[in-house]
């Protein structure tokens, strides 16, 4: 088939394939395009390696096909163009069948020479190459695709192929990694994709111990599958590489079904600015939890609506800030009108290129830094288990690109009930040293003031920092910038031993809009509301080493310091995601459990009737007052029969704590007579006043979920108490539980009827 015919054919039937893919070709109607996939989606890597692009073409066309008519490889012109844009990595797709026409035989010399020529041309331009076997876990034999591991395509043949490829390319210094297989999917159970990948790794390492090896996730490399414990992608973490140079690959597209087809408009796809961040986060969290290196091999957006470019920008910023690089899908001259194409046309660069160019290199934002939407760069510091920005925040836009109002007039400022910022004395010269001053309405705006992966700290998180530095009576010294360059004498106790580097940015007075105390004080907002008019903040002072906590009018103009999101989350079988906190040597969920199924997928009975509830001897759950609106804040209430069910209420790797484990927590916090204060969420947003002693310095964030009475099935004490089951039985009718109360700082243990409906908090195995 001639190239022009191929182009016309592509334009006519092109579909962006998905959940991680681009093209879908009807193989029954287009035998000469059988190299394309036919599918439908079923349901802290630190590196100086640059971001890059997929240069497609080598995976096109029938098998074996004719070079230059059915398929093509990147030209020097393409390499020059993308290199000139700063994209110094190409993912180079090709077909197994073309490089090795006969299984377990020598590589084809002509085809190998073509691929070698591209690699060498890239090397002269300072471009590194990811060799991508683009076969979807299959090999084409006489027009039929057979799964690797089937009798037709033995695993040993795949190992042989990669052994020969590694032998051929191991001396090429610009090979970044061997990409074993693009988007394996619907693989056999035995041998599994895990087994196949391990054999290929063994083959590569038999001849090349230096080059990195990339392993794609199963299920079309969908990012979300990595976050599901025990999934075919999750288990890849157990692959063994004697060189310890494995990189794990996910693909991410941003349309509603993650297919990459973008069949509908931005609005009909129900898109939003952080769609990409939300889709990739399970993979990012999986990498962090398992200490693995990661890569996003494919992502892309159409350019028919500028809002897609915002999604792309937020996504790229997020993965870069998590030290992950990737390659855009796709470049190459044969795409025609393909909407995701980044190949230039008669009008010049595609709109997507303007966004991608901002992420030329994973080291453009050095490890230990983060940028905001205005491209202000912030250093970061780890203090205890927290990661903080080292400078006051100074972004002028929300995360979605909407501007934050810059209000200079004093009268206007003091009357605001919406988000705003300013520079001290309305002088932009103060920006770089002191950052911006924001009212709390900007801090709490749903559009988010912080870049993806970061947030304004809660008062509890800020308290945890003080506790780590010795308590609020002395923490100011280790936090304040030392010396008198910015602080007024005497700058009491300032050592900056924490690296926090607080500066005296002053503030803007809520009642007048006037500026005050530059050089003397720094007020830092928390995200924790006190009431409708006020919120919690912390204070640093020139004449004291303490860090007093207080509440201020939301109209005040204070500084903001951001904290990095927790890198460890856990997902239950329903897909609910829970944050976690390390307290002593234990790791706890930060939210009450709200799962509705046991680990094996069986449903837990949802019992609403009071008479039925009080007579139960089997597992059940409910929402408080049978109102699902209480789910996200308070979690579910379970009887103890659900807690003790052999099908297991907890996701893999987690469990309901024994009474002894809960006692260990109390002991670490000073004993059960005082632990309640440190375990309870601070303030009276959820707890009834006075919420005695609540500091939440542990980060446990206990909420007053109430309970369900065993003898009547009635609901009681929302806002007042939280009863939490242990896994420890007392006798046939009762089990141990702990209690948090609105009017006490203790956390008493006792026994209760197993028919009671209490909260569950899980602890890591």
Indicate if the pLDDT at residue 2 is higher than 90. no
pLDDT band per the 50, 70, 90 thresholds, residue 126: confident
Spatial distance between the Cα atoms of 526 and 535, rounded to a whole number of angstroms: 7
Which residues are designated catalytic? Answer: 183, 298
Spatial distance between the Cα atoms of 536 and 605, rounded to a whole number of angstroms: 41
| Residue whose C-alpha is closest to residue 177's, from 119, 116, 130 | 130
SS (HEC) of 399-418: CCCCECEECCCHHHHHCCCC
Question: Using omega within 30 degrees of 0 as the cis cutoff, is the peptide bond preceding 191 cis?
Answer: yes
Share of the chain above pLDDT 70, in %: 92
| Residue whose C-alpha is closest to residue 719's, from 755, 683, 754 | 683
Spatial distance between the Cα atoms of 557 and 522, rounded to a whole number of angstroms: 11
Indicate if the pLDDT at residue 16 is higher than 90. no
Indicate if the pLDDT at residue 14 is higher than 70. no
Can you tell me whether residue 464 is helix, strand or coil? helix
pLDDT band per the 50, 70, 90 thresholds, residue 568: low
**What is the 8-class DSSP label of residue 628?**
G
Instruction: Provide the edge-to-edge strand list for the sheet that holds 505-508.
Output: 515-518, 505-508, 521-529, 534-541, 549-553
> H/E element holding 183?
none
* DSSP, residue by residue, 28-73: TT-GGGTTS------------PBPEEEE-STT-SSSS--BTTTB--
Paired with 141 in beta bridges are 144
> H/E element holding 454?
strand 454-455
Other Cβ atoms within 10 Å of 702 Cβ, number? 25
Can you tell me whether residue 558 is helix, strand or coil? strand
Question: Using omega within 30 degrees of 0 as the cis cutoff, is the peptide bond preceding 330 cis?
Answer: yes
* DSSP, residue by residue, 133-161: E-STTEEEETTEEEETTSTTS-HHHHHHH
Contacts of 109 (CB under 8 A, 6+ apart): none
CA–CA distance from 162 to each of 208, 249, 387, 616, 679 (Å)?
10, 18, 41, 59, 54
Task: Give the β-pairing of 212-216 and 175-179.
Answer: parallel
pLDDT digits (tens, 9 = 90+) for 423-439: 999 999 999 999 999 99
Paired with 559 in beta bridges are 524
Indicate if the pLDDT at residue 709 is higher than 50. yes
**Averaged pLDDT, 649-675:** 90
**89 and 49 Cβ atoms separated by less than 8 Å:** yes
| Residue whose C-alpha is closest to residue 561's, from 436, 665, 664 | 436
**Averaged pLDDT, 255-263:** 90
Structure tokens of 101?
């026409």
pLDDT band per the 50, 70, 90 thresholds, residue 571: confident
**539 and 520 Cβ atoms separated by less than 8 Å:** no
Spatial distance between the Cα atoms of 68 and 83, rounded to a whole number of angstroms: 23
pLDDT band per the 50, 70, 90 thresholds, residue 86: confident
| Residue whose C-alpha is closest to residue 386's, from 453, 465, 477 | 465
Indicate if the pLDDT at residue 371 is higher than 90. no
**Helical segments of 85-143, H only:** 96-99, 109-124
Indicate if the pLDDT at residue 758 is higher than 50. yes
- Exposed e or buried b for every residue in 231-258, given b needs 16+ CB within 10 A? bbbbebbeeebeeebbbbbbbbbbbeeb
Spatial distance between the Cα atoms of 194 and 179, rounded to a whole number of angstroms: 15
pLDDT band per the 50, 70, 90 thresholds, residue 759: very high
> H/E element holding 536?
strand 534-541
Q: Which residue has the higher pLDDT, 148 or 577?
A: 148
- Please tell me the pTM assigned to this model: 0.53
Contacts of 346 (CB under 8 A, 6+ apart): none
Domain ranges across the chain: 3-367, 379-564, 569-764
- Write down the CATH number for the domain with range 3-367: 3.20.20.80
Question: Using omega within 30 degrees of 0 as the cis cutoff, is the peptide bond preceding 552 cis?
Answer: no
**What is the 8-class DSSP label of residue 425?**
G
Radius of gyration of the chain (CA): 29
**Helical segments of 375-455, H only:** 410-414, 431-434, 440-443
Per-residue model confidence (pLDDT) at position 49 = 55
Structure tokens of 608?
């609403």
Spatial distance between the Cα atoms of 231 and 250, rounded to a whole number of angstroms: 14
Structure tokens of 615?
């007579």
pLDDT band per the 50, 70, 90 thresholds, residue 23: very low
Mean pLDDT of the chain: 88
Structure tokens of 555?
């109209």
pLDDT digits (tens, 9 = 90+) for 332-356: 989 988 999 999 988 889 999 988 8
Paired with 550 in beta bridges are 537
Per-residue model confidence (pLDDT) at position 628 = 93
Indicate if the pLDDT at residue 362 is higher than 90. no
Spatial distance between the Cα atoms of 416 and 742, rounded to a whole number of angstroms: 34
Contacts of 168 (CB under 8 A, 6+ apart): 107, 112, 116
**588 and 580 Cβ atoms separated by less than 8 Å:** yes
Structure tokens of 135?
């076969």
CA–CA distance from 355 to each of 85, 185, 301, 329 (Å)?
11, 31, 11, 13
pLDDT band per the 50, 70, 90 thresholds, residue 24: very low
Can you tell me whether residue 278 is helix, strand or coil? helix
510: left (phi over 0), alpha (psi -120 to 50) or beta: alpha
Indicate if the pLDDT at residue 323 is higher than 90. no
> H/E element holding 216?
strand 212-216
Per-residue model confidence (pLDDT) at position 368 = 59
Indicate if the pLDDT at residue 681 is higher than 50. yes
- Exposed e or buried b for every residue in 292-315, given b needs 16+ CB within 10 A? bbbbbbbbbbbbebebbbbbbbbb
């Amino acid at each position: 088939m001639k190239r022009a015919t191929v182009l016309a054919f592509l334009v006519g039937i092109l579909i962006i394939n998905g959940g991680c893919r681009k093209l879908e070709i009807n193989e029954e109607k287009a035998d000469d395009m059988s190299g394309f996939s036919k599918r439908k989606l079923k349901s802290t890597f630190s590196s100086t390696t640059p971001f890059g692009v997929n240069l497609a073409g080598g995976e096109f066309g029938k098998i074996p096909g004719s070079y230059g008519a059915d398929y093509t490889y990147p030209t020097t012109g393409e390499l020059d163009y993308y290199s000139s844009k700063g994209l110094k990595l190409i993912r180079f797709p090709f077909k197994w069948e073309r490089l090795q026409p006969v299984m377990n035989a020598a590589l084809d010399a002509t085809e190998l020479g073509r691929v070698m020529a591209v690699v060498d041309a890239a090397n002269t331009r300072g471009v590194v190459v990811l060799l991508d076997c683009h076969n979807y876990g299959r090999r084409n034999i006489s027009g039929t695709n057979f799964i690797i591991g089937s009798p037709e395509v033995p695993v040993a043949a795949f190992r042989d192929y990669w052994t020969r490829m590694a032998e051929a390319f191991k001396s090429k210094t610009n090979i970044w990694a061997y990409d074993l297989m693009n988007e394996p999917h619907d693989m056999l159970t035995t041998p599994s994709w895990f087994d196949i990948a391990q054999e290929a790794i063994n083959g590569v390492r038999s001849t090349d111990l230096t080059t990195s090896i990339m392993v794609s996730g199963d299920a079309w490399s969908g990012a979300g599958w990595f976050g599901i414990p025990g999934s075919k992608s999750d288990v890849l973490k157990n692959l063994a590489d004697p060189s310890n140079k494995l990189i794990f690959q996910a693909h991410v597209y941003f349309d509603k079904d993650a297919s990459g087809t973008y069949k509908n408009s931005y609005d009909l796809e129900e898109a939003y600015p952080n769609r990409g961040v939300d889709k990739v986060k399970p993979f990012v969290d999986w990498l962090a939890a398992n200490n693995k290196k990661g890569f996003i091999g494919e992502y892309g957006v159409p350019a028919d609506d500028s809002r897609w470019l915002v999604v792309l920008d937020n996504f790229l910023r997020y993965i870069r800030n998590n030290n992950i690089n990737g390659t855009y899908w796709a470049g190459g001259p044969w795409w025609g009108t393909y909407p995701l194409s980044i190949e230039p046309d008669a009008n010049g660069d595609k709109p997507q290129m303007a966004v991608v160019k901002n992420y030329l290199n994973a080291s453009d934002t050095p490890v230990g830094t983060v940028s905001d939407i205005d491209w202000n760069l912030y250093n970061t510091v780890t203090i205890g288990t927290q990661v903080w920005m080292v400078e006051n925040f100074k972004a002028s836009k929300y995360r979605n690109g909407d501007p934050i109002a810059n209000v200079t007039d004093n009268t206007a400022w003091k009357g605001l009930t919406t988000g705003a910022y300013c520079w001290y004395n309305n002088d932009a010269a103060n920006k770089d040293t002191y950052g911006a001053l924001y009212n709390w309405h900007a801090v709490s705006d749903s559009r988010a003031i912080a870049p993806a992966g970061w947030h304004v700290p809660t008062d509890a998180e800020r308290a945890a920092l003080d506790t780590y530095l010795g308590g609020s009576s002395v923490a100011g010294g280790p936090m304040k910038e030392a010396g008198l360059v910015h602080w007024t004498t005497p700058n009491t106790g300032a050592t900056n031993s924490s690296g926090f580097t607080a500066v005296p940015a002053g503030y803007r007075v809520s009642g007048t809009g006037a500026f005050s105390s530059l050089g003397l004080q720094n007020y830092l907002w928390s995200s924790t509301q006190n009431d409708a008019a006020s919120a919690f903040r912390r204070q640093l002072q020139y004449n004291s080493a303490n860090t007093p906590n207080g509440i201020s009018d939301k109209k005040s103009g204070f500084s903001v310091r951001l904290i990095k999101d927790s890198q460890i989350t856990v997902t239950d079988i329903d897909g609910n995601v829970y944050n976690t906190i390390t307290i002593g040597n234990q790791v706890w969920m930060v939210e009450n459990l709200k799962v509705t199924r046991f680990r094996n997928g069986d449903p837990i009975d949802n019992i609403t009737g009071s008479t039925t509830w009080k007579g139960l001897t089997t597992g059940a759950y409910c929402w408080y007052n049978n109102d699902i609106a209480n789910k996200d804040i308070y979690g579910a209430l379970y009887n103890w029969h659900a807690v003790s069910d052999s099908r297991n209420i907890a996701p893999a790797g987690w469990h309901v704590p024994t009474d002894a484990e809960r006692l260990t927590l109390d002991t670490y916090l000073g004993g059960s007579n005082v632990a309640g204060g440190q375990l309870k969420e601070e303030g009276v947003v959820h707890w009834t006043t006075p919420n005695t002693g609540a500091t939440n310095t542990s980060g446990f964030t206990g909420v007053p979920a109430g309970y369900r009475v065993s003898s009547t099935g009635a609901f009681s004490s929302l806002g007042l108490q939280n009863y939490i089951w242990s896994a420890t039985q007392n006798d046939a009718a009762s089990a141990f539980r702990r209690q948090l109360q609105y009017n006490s700082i203790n956390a008493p243990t006792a026994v209760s009827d197993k028919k009671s409906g209490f909260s569950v908090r899980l602890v890591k195995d």
